[in-house]
């Protein structure tokens, strides 16, 4: 069966420190991968998506970056965190076939607090 | 541009009563529509989707949604609400999913 993992579950970081959040998918190949941020428990903002290894599209310009070093691994990074980077970060995947009609499967999320 | 609107921040219903969570959309071309549910501090879970065919779509946990092309709506429904249905519900439209702002459903015993 397909599963998606994210870690860490919670993270408290000082302003200006680096960030690395990891997401891995099991049970499927060539998935489309996504990073979202959810602020204040409400709407989701798409940050990055990837249709293949090394292929990253950025939806919102900011001090975050993403990488996909392996087919089922997606990493969200920052060199220097800002207070505004606090939020709930969700990784998701879909099967990558049949384009836009596939539902997405979400990881458990990472709660990031920047102090 | 594609967009989704959930006009209600919160919906309150009594356990056992029917529930409706509203969603309207704006897309060019054929819409692919989704509903997801989120429990506190968890990721989103897929409930159901409309791609084509029957306008009434049945999904997980007894939920269903009705696609109405003339009203550009895709409301989520359940005939009898449970306290355990209390959560945050999101409507979304594809391709890269565009989410509504979410509706908090509170089911009171």
Q: In which residue are the tokens 């800002």 written? A: A82
Q: Do B32 and A104 touch (CB under 8 A)?
A: no
Structural domain total, chain B: 1
CA-wise closest residue to A108 among A38, A18, A12: A38
Q: Do A103 and B102 touch (CB under 8 A)?
A: no
Structural domain spans, chain A = 3-114
Residues of B near A (Cβ–Cβ under 8 Å) read 32, 34, 36, 41-46, 49, 51, 88, 90, 94-97, 99-102
What is the SS3 assignment for chain A?
A: CCEEEEECCEEEECCCCCEEEEEEEECCCCCEEEEEEECCCCCEEEEEEEEECCEEEECCCCCEEEEEEECCEEEEEECCCCHHHCEEEEEEEECCCCHHHCCCEECCCEEEEEC
**H/E segment holding residue B12:** strand B10-14
Q: Which residues of A touch B90 (CB under 8 A)?
A: 43-44
CA-wise closest residue to A91 among A74, A77, A111, A66: A74
A47: left (phi over 0), alpha (psi -120 to 50) or beta: alpha
Q: In which residue are the tokens 């959810």 written? A: A38
Cβ pair A30, A40 in contact under 8 A: no
A28 vs A19: CA distance, rounded Å: 27
3 state SS of B83: helix
A94 pLDDT more than 60: yes
Tell me whether strands A73-78 and A19-26 are parallel, antiparallel or unpaired.
Answer: antiparallel
Domain range spanning residue B27?
Answer: 3-108
Token pair, residue A68, equals 């996909």
Give the domain A3-114 fold: Immunoglobulin-like (2.60.40)
CATH number for the domain spanning B19: value is 2.60.40.10
- The shortest C-alpha distance from B102 to chain A (Å) reads 6
| Per-residue confidence in pLDDT tens, chain B, 109 aa | 788 999 999 999 999 999 999 999 998 888 899 999 999 888 899 999 999 889 999 999 999 999 999 999 999 999 999 999 999 999 999 866 789 999 999 999 9
> pLDDT (tens digit, 9 = 90+) per residue, A38-89?
987 678 889 999 999 999 999 886 889 999 999 999 999 999 999 999 999 9
A7 vs B52: CA distance, rounded Å: 37
pLDDT at residue A99 in the model:
59
Tell me whether strands A110-114 and A87-94 are parallel, antiparallel or unpaired.
Answer: antiparallel
Most distant pair of Cα atoms in chain A: their distance: 42
* Cross-strand partners of A34: A49, A92
Q: Which residues of B touch A41 (CB under 8 A)?
A: 88, 102
């Amino acid at each position: 069966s397909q599963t998606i993992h994210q870690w860490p579950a919670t993270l408290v970081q000082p302003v200006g420190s680096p960030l690395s959040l990891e997401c891995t998918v099991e049970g499927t190949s060539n998935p489309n991968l996504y990073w979202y941020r959810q602020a204040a428990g409400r709407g989701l903002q798409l940050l990055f998506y990837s249709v293949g290894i090394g292929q990253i599209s950025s939806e919102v310009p900011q001090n975050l970056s993403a990488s996909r070093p392996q087919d089922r691994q997606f990493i969200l990074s920052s060199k220097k965190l800002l207070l505004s980077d606090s939020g709930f970060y969700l990784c998701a995947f879909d099967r990558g076939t049949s384009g836009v009609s596939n539902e997405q499967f979400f990881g458990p999320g990472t709660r990031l607090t920047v102090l | 541009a594609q967009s989704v609107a959930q006009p209600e921040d919160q919906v309150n219903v009594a356990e056992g009563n029917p529930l409706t969570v509203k969603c309207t959309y704006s897309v060019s071309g054929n819409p692919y529509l989704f509903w997801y549910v989120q429990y506190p501090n968890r990721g989103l879970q897929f409930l159901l989707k409309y791609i084509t065919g029957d306008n009434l779509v049945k999904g997980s946990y007894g939920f269903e949604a009705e696609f109405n092309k003339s009203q550009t709506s895709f409301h989520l429904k359940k005939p009898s609400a449970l306290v355990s249905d209390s959560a945050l519900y999101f409507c979304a439209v594809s391709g890269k999913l565009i989410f509504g702002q979410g509706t908090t459903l509170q089911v009171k015993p």
